Amino acid sequence: MFLEAKNLSKHFGGLHAVKEVDFSVEKGKINAIIGPNGAGKSTFFNVITGLHRPSSGQVIFKGDDISKLPPNKIALLGIARTFQTTNLFEQATVFENVVVGHRLRTKSNLFDAIFRTKRTKQEEEKCKEKALEVLHFVGLAHAAERMVGSISQEEKKRIAFALALATDPEIVFLDEPTAGVNPDETEELAQLMQKMVQKGITVCLIEHKMQMIMKLADKIMVLNYGEKIAEGTPDEINNNEEVIKAYLGGSASA
């Protein structure tokens, strides 16, 4: 098993945001989590990526229980994530925003930094190379020196992907990666996710855009009031009575 949630729950006081969810992320595939607003999707991501400790249950990555590890340790294992609202530095360049991603993999300490040791210089070079590589991958190399404040929403989404990729992940968790962009841009970001999978990275995303997710995902889990109500291929989800009742017939947006 690659990455697996086992009987995972997260409570906030009396509120069961995630309730006894079993889910395994398929390696090398596009895995999607859908569900109405407040269904627990982001909380599920937060528990898996270490932002929240689970109330009960486990997260197993390549055989090890990672449910009590802090986010930086989880990221070091090769699990990256993006957020719904990407917190980028608007007054810095695209390059400067992305270069920090790979610092996760560096070992320089305060001493190295103060005395600009060989190790620091080599590691800084590596971070710069990595930033250029991932900006190229996401199609933003030409915009490297532009200020983030002056670029489009779609380009900001690409920066979020680049930042996650700069950590050298095996799996990326993308929280609504196409929110706030138009249909053509949505299609381009979907292609970028496919390109990530072709590169050997496993993708797990939260998405509200149903048409897009039905075309893109290999596997879908549906959450409703914190509980998994269905799991399967897009076809299986499309034809699932409980899903239609809880979600597709209700607040879904195209």
Ligand X SMILES: Nc1ncnc2c1ncn2[C@@H]1O[C@H](COP(=O)(O)OP(=O)(O)OP(=O)(O)O)[C@@H](O)[C@H]1O
With residue 227 as reference, give the H or E element that holds it: strand 227-232
Name, in order, each residue with C-beta under 8 angstroms of 19's C-beta and a sequence gap of 6 or more.
Answer: 9, 40, 225, 226, 227
- Asked if 85 interacts with ligand X (CB under 6 A), we say no
How would you label 96-108 residue by residue, b for 16+ Cβ within 10 Å and e otherwise?
bbbbebbeeeeeb
Closer CB to ligand X, residue 18 or residue 127? 18
Name residue, tokens 């992320």.
25
Query: Which residue of 3, 5, 32, 43 would you call a contact of ligand X, by CB under 6 A?
Result: 43
Contact 206, 41 (CB under 8 A): yes
Q: How many residues bind ligand X (CB under 6 A)?
A: 11
Q: To the nearest whole angstrom, how small is the minimum distance from the Cβ of residue 245 to ligand X?
A: 17
Q: To the nearest whole angstrom, how small is the minimum distance from the Cβ of residue 40 to ligand X?
A: 4
Q: To the nearest whole angstrom, how small is the minimum distance from the Cβ of residue 216 to ligand X?
A: 18
Closer CB to ligand X, residue 17 or residue 189? 17
Tell me how far apart the alpha carbons of residues 89 and 76 are, in angstroms, rounded to a whole number: 23
Q: To the nearest whole angstrom, how small is the minimum distance from the Cβ of residue 42 to ligand X?
A: 3
- Asked if 177 interacts with ligand X (CB under 6 A), we say no
Closer CB to ligand X, residue 141 or residue 252? 252
Q: To the nearest whole angstrom, how small is the minimum distance from the Cβ of residue 114 to ligand X?
A: 38
Ranges within 96-125 binding ligand X (CB under 6 A): none
With residue 196 as reference, give the H or E element that holds it: helix 183-198
- Asked if 81 interacts with ligand X (CB under 6 A), we say no
Closer CB to ligand X, residue 13 or residue 63? 13
- Asked if 41 interacts with ligand X (CB under 6 A), we say yes
The number of helices, as runs of H, and strands, as runs of E, in the chain is 10, 10
Closer CB to ligand X, residue 147 or residue 210? 210
Beta bridge partners of 172: 80, 203
- Asked if 42 interacts with ligand X (CB under 6 A), we say yes
Tell me how far apart the alpha carbons of residues 144 and 97 are, in angstroms, rounded to a whole number: 9
- Asked if 50 interacts with ligand X (CB under 6 A), we say no
- Asked if 198 interacts with ligand X (CB under 6 A), we say no
Beta bridge partners of 3: 25, 61
- Asked if 78 interacts with ligand X (CB under 6 A), we say no
Residue 227 backbone dihedrals phi, psi, to 5 degrees: -110, 145
Ranges within 1-40 binding ligand X (CB under 6 A): 12, 15, 17, 35, 37-40
> Distance from CA of residue 113 to its chain's centroid?
30
Binding site residues, ligand X, CB under 6 A: 12, 15, 17, 35, 37-43
